[in-house]
Amino acid sequence: MAAPQHSNTLQRDFEIGGGEKGRRVKVVTQSRVVAEFAAGEPVLIMPTVSADPAADPADYKAGLFFRDRGDGKLQACIRFPTGNIQILATEN
């Protein structure tokens, strides 16, 4: 089965260059930062969610999110199109 085409998906490429320290690219939706990349750091910074995502991702996609498991420890999770959630790691 071939992967679906995403003709109506808005994609933007950002480049931070010039060796400037402290510059960041933030992805914001509905006035909320959902992802952040810092210049010179290969790290994706994402906030925790207050509840598991309600909607399953579309076919050939997955949703990466971070949640509090209820005792103050964070969990890195991925949600698949089937609705299954797999815990990738739990904070020690």
In a domain, 63, yes or no: yes
Distance between CA atoms of residues 55 and 61, nearest Å: 12
| Cα-to-chain-centroid distance, residue 44 | 8
Range of the domain at 47: 24-90
14 found inside a domain: no
Residue 11 included in any domain: no
Put simply, whether the predicted model's pTM sits higher than 0.75 gets the answer no
The answer to whether position 71 is within a domain reads yes
Q: HSE of 71 in the Cβ direction (CA atoms, 13 Å)?
A: 3
Whether 12 is in a domain gets the answer: no
Number of domains in the chain: 1
Model confidence pLDDT, tens digit, residues 18-48: 555 556 677 777 666 677 777 667 777 788 8
Helix (H, G, I), strand (E, B) or coil at 40: coil
Whole-angstrom Cα distance, residue 65 to residue 22?
Answer: 25
Q: How far is CA 61 from CA 17, 26, 69, 73, 78, in A?
A: 30, 22, 24, 26, 10
pLDDT in tens, 55-76: 888 888 888 889 998 898 999 9
Any domain includes 2: no
15 within domain boundaries: no
Residue 29 in domain: yes
